[in-house]
Amino acid sequence: MAGRVAARAHTNIALIKYWGKRDEALYLPTSTSLSLTLSSLYTDTRVSFDDDAFEDVLLLDGQIQDAASTAKVTRVVNLFRERYGVGSAAPRVRVESHNHVPTAAGLASSSSGFAALATALRALFEERYPDAPRMSDTELSTFARRGSGSATRSIFGGFVEWAYGTGSEDSVAVPVDDAQWDVAMVLVALSTQKKKISSTYGMKHTADTSAFYPLWREVSERDLDDVRAGIRERDIDRVGAAMEANCMKFHATMFAANPPFTYLTSRSLAVIEYIQELRAHEGLSVYYTMDAGPNVKVLCRRSEQQRVHELLEERFPDVTLFDAVAGPAPRTLTEKEWEELYG
């Protein structure tokens, strides 16, 4: 249907973490990060113009969202209104999103959510305003960034960097490798509840008060170099070792904040210890990482993924596991696909 477009974007998991903004308004990071886009967790979003509405509307999994959540979406929509030269003359937008990933639980739902929104909005505005200059994927990543920093990286598939850049125009997503080799992940969902400390608050509090934070930025660059080299060599052990090191330094910055806080739980630590045990005693190439939440993401060989899943399931029978391989870039969905999925 004209005036209505849907898109799907996949989550990504950071191997080298994004943790802090040097510009809050433009969402410019304090360091370069690197992630793997995942196949099995994603967000579907449909956007449409409503010529009769007075404000934008956001529905998440069929529920109308509050003003604060809608304002985050409107912030991104306004960027498209400005980019396509229509400003306040553009009609309001209705946004319908369905998350196939727990929201706000440290499983990167914001990365897929805002990447799907940006992808759908680009198609919607290009359909309505065909004479405007086309938007590249690189430019699109800067629009996704303004919704959620991690969404920058979900504009491409495989391994992706979000560049530090010199400013808003070049702090962009850069595809690194399609990850079509012996690499996969198993996500250990210890909690699907909304976390008590948001990523936005956590990173700002850490950047403002942690004595470890300046050192974090320095050593993160070295970890990034190691991961880049491991990807070039297709050496999962080099990638995994650097990823683990970066993860633990990332969480150390929070312990050194004032007051200190953590996203780690006793269950998180139990999974981490088990991953170390599997690597030492089972000979598996398994490595852990965690973001701003209690859930553990396990990097492994694709050829060993089933075995890793079975061992984790045996040790932790009450948790939910998600298997994933490298995921693709966002794509638009047909009206038929949307209707078959959501009616």
Please give the pLDDT value at position 2: 63
Does 229 lie in the same domain as 144?
A: no
Residue 26 resides in a domain: yes
Does 99 lie in the same domain as 124?
A: yes
Does 110 lie in the same domain as 193?
A: no
CATH of the domain at 223: 3.30.70.890
Q: What is the C-alpha to C-alpha distance for residues 319 and 315, in angstroms, rounded to an integer?
A: 10
Residue 329 resides in a domain: no
Please give the pLDDT value at position 314: 98
Closest C-alpha to 295, from 135, 109, 56, 138 = 109
Does 8 lie in the same domain as 151?
A: yes
The two tokens of residue 286 are: 């398994």
Q: How crowded is the C-beta side of 225, counted as CA atoms within 13 Å?
A: 5
Q: What is the pLDDT along the chain (343 residues), one digit of tens a residue?
A: 568 999 999 999 999 999 999 999 999 999 999 999 999 999 999 999 998 889 999 999 999 999 999 999 999 999 999 999 998 778 899 999 999 976 544 565 899 999 999 999 999 999 999 999 999 999 999 999 999 999 999 999 999 999 999 999 999 999 999 999 999 999 999 987 778 899 899 999 999 999 999 999 999 999 999 999 999 999 999 999 999 999 999 999 999 999 999 999 999 999 999 999 999 999 999 999 999 999 999 999 999 999 999 999 999 999 999 999 999 999 999 999 999 999 8
Domain that holds residue 269: 184-324
Burial of 294 (0-12, 13-18, 19+ CB in 10 A): buried
Tally the domains of the chain: 2
Does 188 lie in the same domain as 305?
A: yes
Q: What is the pTM of this model?
A: 0.95
Q: What is the C-alpha to C-alpha distance for residues 343 and 336, in angstroms, rounded to an integer?
A: 9
Q: How crowded is the C-beta side of 40, counted as CA atoms within 13 Å?
A: 11
Q: Which residues pair with 287 in a beta bridge?
A: 299
Residue 256 resides in a domain: yes
CA distances from 275 to 118, 271, 285, 288 (A): 36, 6, 9, 7
Does 275 lie in the same domain as 153?
A: no
Does 209 lie in the same domain as 168?
A: no
Q: What is the C-alpha to C-alpha distance for residues 82 and 279, in angstroms, rounded to an integer?
A: 51
Does 192 lie in the same domain as 291?
A: yes
Q: What is the C-alpha to C-alpha distance for residues 186 and 90, in angstroms, rounded to an integer?
A: 43
Does 206 lie in the same domain as 149?
A: no
Q: What is the C-alpha to C-alpha distance for residues 249 and 243, in angstroms, rounded to an integer?
A: 10
Neighbouring residues of 93: CB distance < 8 A, sequence distance ≥ 6: 47, 48, 49, 50, 56, 57, 77, 121, 124
Residue 121 resides in a domain: yes
Q: E strands within the chain?
A: 4-16, 21-23, 28-29, 33-50, 57-60, 63-64, 92-100, 159-162, 173-177, 184-189, 287-290, 296-300, 320-324, 331-333
Does 280 lie in the same domain as 142?
A: no
Residue 65 contacts residue 71 (beta carbons within 8 Å): no
- Apex CA 163: angle with CA 33 and CA 15, to 5°? 15
Does 127 lie in the same domain as 33?
A: yes
Q: Count CB-CB contacts under 10 A for residue 19.
A: 28
Q: Count CB-CB contacts under 10 A for residue 38.
A: 29
CATH of the domain at 133: 3.30.230.10
Does 13 lie in the same domain as 87?
A: yes
Q: What is the C-alpha to C-alpha distance for residues 205 and 217, in angstroms, rounded to an integer?
A: 15
Residue 50 resides in a domain: yes
